[in-house]
């Protein structure tokens, strides 16, 4: 029995290795992967190139502990590094913001909606407008950030060296950060054209994954040495110390959350469709049964991004009210949103549900889907083509969106629950749920799917096939 188990394990191991080797045997696929790795390496190098004339020591001191706030959120979404003010400090977020703006406008502004329906030519025109909007957004965001770090602090120490704090420094820093984002956008487009996978998504994923070693190091290392507490039950009794049982629980939680996220991300509601029969001569065409797949998580990661960004506003508003009116209740509410307690989590869940339905309504149009089925000569058994099919699809998408929103809400609040329940640093807990995990898993699944398509096209078994 033991020998059979060992034989099975060795067989599975050799099978996995052979499939990975097969990827690099295909010349075109090998070139795409190497080009993708090269561009991501360029991005990571630029990530560590700081802006000139910035006091990096004071920058690190002033922004210490900001990973749980606004800067941590922007860093996760954008793949940039505002806390270090590098040339890629703004990351790719301005381009994403511009893309979202034009996607929303296309649903309410008829000329853009007409462009969107023109196919490839219309898509190129919208992309051109998106690039122009990205430059404008970059310039505005960079100007605000450079003005912020150039302003003298109450202790008399500025983040920018005083002798360089001139209009020339201001313009050069703003232009540098703007060009950095445009260069990242160009890298993403080059990966789309010559590499493999979605370039913008891979840049964001690379920024998130690059934070794992630092977070893991803070969990199990202290001053370059393994913490003695991880080998004992209960740790050393101090507040954020991790004992052996906490480490085991964290590992099991991570595996469980990843498996659940993959299952829901790939989950579909398959609606049976049937094509109409056509008789030509003695032959009968059509009549085949197929499926219309509707994703359970139709909105993707966008509701979590919108909700988490919007929840930053109450904290700043209540802090301002507390300072102006010296109000205790405003200070208490600001603290409640800042420490991500019950009030924050309840508001988070409500906003995720709202944005799930909002984003699904924008990206999925039951009427257009029903018309497409009708144009292709297909129908859903039991429902007449046209309005009844559209009403049925709308009812189904409303139900599965409720499940998808519940899934997103649970994943989004997991970091807060783990951080408070297990007394773990929030930076570590953020890898057990939230937006970062959703982005990494969805991008990884998309990358595996694209590699599989190249392998299957050349009659090789895919990476996920048995």
**Beta pairing partners, 225:** 222
| pLDDT range class, residue 236, cuts 50, 70, 90 | very low
What number is the average pLDDT over the span 280-295?
Answer: 74
**Beta pairing partners, 270:** 293
Assess contact for 366 and 394: CB atoms under 8 A. yes
Paired tokens of 224: 């370059």
For 306-320, write each residue's pLDDT tens digit: 787 777 777 778 877
**Residue 360 Cα distances to 84, 346, 350, 354, 431, angstroms:** 36, 21, 16, 10, 26
Cα 384-388-389 angle, rounded to 5 deg = 75
For 90-130, write each residue's pLDDT tens digit: 888 888 888 888 877 887 788 888 887 777 788 888 888 88
d(CA 297, CA 304): 12
User: Hey, what domains does the chain have and what are their CATH numbers?
Assistant: 24-210 (1.10.3370.10)
For 177-223, write each residue's pLDDT tens digit: 899 889 999 998 899 889 888 888 888 888 888 877 777 776 666 66
Buried b (16+ CB within 10 A) or exposed e, 284-307: eeeeeeeebebbbbbbbbbbbbbb
For 49-59, write each residue's pLDDT tens digit: 877 777 666 66
Task: Indicate the pTM of the whole model.
Answer: 0.77
Three-state secondary structure along 149-214? HHCCCCCCCCCECHHHCCHHHHHHHHHHHHHHHHHHHHHHHHHHHHCCCCHHHHHHHHHHHCCHHH
| pLDDT range class, residue 38, cuts 50, 70, 90 | very high
**Beta pairing partners, 293:** 270
Residues recorded for the chain: 466
């Amino acid at each position: 029995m033991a020998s059979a188990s060992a034989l099975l394990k060795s067989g599975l191991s050799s099978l996995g290795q052979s499939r990975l080797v097969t990827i690099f045997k295909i010349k075109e696929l090998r070139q795409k992967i190497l080009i993708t790795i090269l561009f991501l390496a360029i991005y990571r190098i630029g990530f560590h190139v700081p802006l000139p004339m910035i006091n990096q020591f004071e920058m690190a001191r002033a922004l210490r502990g900001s990973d749980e706030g606004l800067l941590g959120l922007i860093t996760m979404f954008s793949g940039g590094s505002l806390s270090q003010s590098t040339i890629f400090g703004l990351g790719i977020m301005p381009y994403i913001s511009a893309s979202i703006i034009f996607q929303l406008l296309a649903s309410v502004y008829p000329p853009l909606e007409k462009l969107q329906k023109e196919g490839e030519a219309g898509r190129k025109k919208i992309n051109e407008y998106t690039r122009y909007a990205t430059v404008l957004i970059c310039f505005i965001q960079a100007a605000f950030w450079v003005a912020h770090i150039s302003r003298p602090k109450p202790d008399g120490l500025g983040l920018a060296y005083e002798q360089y704090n001139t209009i020339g420094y201001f313009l050069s820093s703003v232009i540098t950060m703007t060009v950095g984002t445009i260069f990242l956008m160009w890298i993403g487009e080059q990966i789309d054209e010559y590499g493999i996978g979605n370039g913008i998504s891979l840049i964001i994923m690379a920024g998130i994954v690059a934070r794992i070693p630092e977070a893991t190091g803070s969990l199990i290392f202290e001053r370059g040495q393994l913490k003695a507490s991880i080998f004992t039950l209960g740790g050393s009794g101090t507040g954020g110390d991790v004992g052996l049982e906490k480490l085991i629980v964290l590992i099991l939680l991570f595996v469980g959350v990843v498996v659940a996220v993959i299952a829901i991300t790939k989950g579909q509601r398959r609606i049976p469709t049937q094509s109409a029969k056509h008789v030509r001569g003695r032959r009968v065409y059509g009549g085949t049964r197929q499926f219309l797949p509707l994703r359970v998580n139709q909105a993707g990661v966008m509701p979590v991004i919108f909700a988490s960004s919007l929840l930053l506003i109450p904290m700043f508003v209540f802090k301002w009210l507390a300072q102006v009116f010296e109000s205790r209740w405003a200070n208490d509410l600001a603290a409640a949103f800042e420490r991500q307690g019950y009030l924050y989590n309840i508001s988070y869940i409500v906003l995720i549900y709202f944005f799930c339905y909002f984003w699904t309504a924008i990206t999925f149009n039951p009427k257009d889907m029903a018309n497409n089925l009708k144009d292709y000569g297909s129908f859903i058994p039991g429902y007449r083509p046209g309005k009844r099919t559209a009403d049925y699809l709308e009812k189904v998408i409303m139900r599965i969106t409720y499940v998808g929103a519940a899934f997103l809400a649970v994943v989004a609040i997991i970091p807060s629950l783990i951080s408070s329940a297990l007394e773990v640093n929030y930076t570590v807990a953020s890898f057990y749920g939230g937006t970062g995990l959703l982005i990494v898993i969805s991008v990884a699944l998309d990358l595996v799917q694209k590699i599989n398509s190249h392998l299957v096209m050349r009659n090789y078994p895919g990476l996920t096939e048995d």
